[in-house]
Amino acid sequence: MRVIVAATGGVAAIKTPALLRRLVEAGHEVRAAATDDALKFVTKLSLAVAAGSPVLDREAWFAPEGGALHIEWARWAEALLIAPATADALGSAATGRADDVISALILAGVPQVVWAPAMNSAMWTHPAVQRNVVTLKGFGHRFLGPEHGTLAAQGEGQGVGRMLEPEVLAARLPAALAPQDWAGRRVLVSAGPTREYLDPVRFLSNPSSGKMGYAVAEAARDRGASVTLVSGPTALADPHGVSVIRVESAQEMLAALRQPFAEADLLVMTAAVADWQAAQPEATKQAKLGKTQVLQLIRTPDILETLAAEKRQQVMIGFAMETHEGVPKAADKARRKRLELICLNYPTRSGSAFGGDDNEVTLVTAAGAAEALPRMSKRALAELLLDRAKELLPPIAGGAAQGVSFTT
Active site residue 206: yes
For residue 333, state whether it binds ligand CTP (rule: CB under 6 A).
Answer: yes
CB of 237 to ligand CTP, least distance (A): 22
Which residue, 33 or 271, is less far from ligand CTP as judged by CB? 271
Assess contact for 320 and 342: CB atoms under 8 A: yes
Minimum separation from the CB atom of position 232 to ligand CTP (A): 10
Beta-carbon count within 10 A of 369 CB: 11
Kindly state the smallest distance separating residue 300's Cβ from ligand CTP, in Å: 5
Least separation, in Å, of the C-beta of 254 and ligand CTP? 8
CA 309 to CA 342: how far, in whole Å? 17
Task: Quote the CA–CA distance of 382 and 187 in Å, as a whole number.
Answer: 12
Q: Least CB distance from residue 392 to ligand CTP, whole Å?
A: 17
Selected binder of ligand CTP within 250, 315, 331, 366 (CB under 6 A): 250
Q: What's the rounded Cα separation, in Å, for the pair 48 and 286?
A: 63
Among the listed ranges 109-117, 118-126, 225-233, 315-323, the one in contact with ligand CTP (CB under 6 A) is: 315-323
Contact between 302 and ligand CTP by CB under 6 A: the answer reads yes
The number of residues that bind ligand CTP (CB under 6 A) is 14
- Give yes or no for a contact between 96 and 109, defined as CB atoms under 8 angstroms apart: no
Instruction: Tell me which of 9, 17, 117, 318 binds ligand CTP, using CB under 6 A.
Output: 318
- Residue with Cβ nearer ligand CTP (106 or 307): 307
Interface with ligand CTP, residue 247, by CB under 6 A:
no
Contact 8, 102 (CB under 8 A): yes
**By C-alpha distance, which of 213, 257, 260, 261 is closest to 238?**
213
Q: Which lies closer to ligand CTP via its Cβ, residue 85 or residue 250?
A: 250
From the candidates 120, 206, 345, 359, give the one annotated as an active-site residue: 206
In terms of CB distance, is 92 or 249 closer to ligand CTP?
A: 249
Q: Please, which of residues 14-33 interact with ligand CTP by CB under 6 A? A: none
Alpha-carbon distance of 64 to 79, in angstroms, equals: 27
Q: Which of 38, 39, 119, 303 binds ligand CTP (CB under 6 A)?
A: 303
In the region spanning residues 260 to 299, those forming contacts with ligand CTP, defined by CB under 6 A, are 269, 271, 273, 275
- CA atoms of 146 and 20, how far apart (whole Å): 18
Q: Prior bond to 84 cis, omega within 30?
A: yes
Rounded Cα–Cα distance for residues 8 and 105 (Å)? 13
Select 25 or 371, whichever has its Cβ closest to ligand CTP: 371
Report if residue 332 touches ligand CTP, rule: CB under 6 A: no
Gap between the Cα atoms of 106 and 139, Å rounded: 11
Q: 50 vs 320, which CB is nearer to ligand CTP?
A: 320
Partners of 81 in the β-ladder: 5, 114
Contact stretch for ligand CTP (CB under 6 A) within 8-16, 230-238, 312-320, 346-354: 312-320
From 65-73, 144-152, 282-290, 314-322, give the range in contact with ligand CTP by CB under 6 A. 314-322
Q: Does 331 sit near ligand CTP (CB under 6 A)?
A: no
DSSP readout, 353-404? STT-SEE--EEE-TT--EEEPPPEEHHHHHHHHHHHHHHHSPPPTT----PP
> How far is CA 389 from its chain centroid?
17
Which value, to the nearest 10 degrees, does the dihedral of the CA atoms of residues 286, 292, 298, 303 take?
80
DSSP 73-128: HHHH-SEEEEEEE-HHHHHHHHTT--SSHHHHHHHTT-S-EEEEE---HHHHHSHH
* Sign, Cα dihedral of 288, 289, 292, 298: negative
| Site string (191-230) toward ligand CTP, x via CB under 6 A | ----------------------------------------
Shortest distance in whole angstroms from residue 269 CB to ligand CTP = 4
Backbone angles phi, psi at 202, to 5 degrees: -130, 140
Among 3, 188, 256, 304, binds ligand CTP (CB under 6 A): 304
- CB neighbour list of residue 88: distance below 8 Å, 6 or more residues apart: 8, 9
CB closer to ligand CTP out of 188 and 269: 269
Q: Which residues are catalytic?
A: 206
Query: Which positions touch ligand CTP (CB under 6 A)?
Result: 250, 269, 271, 273, 275, 300, 302-304, 318-321, 333
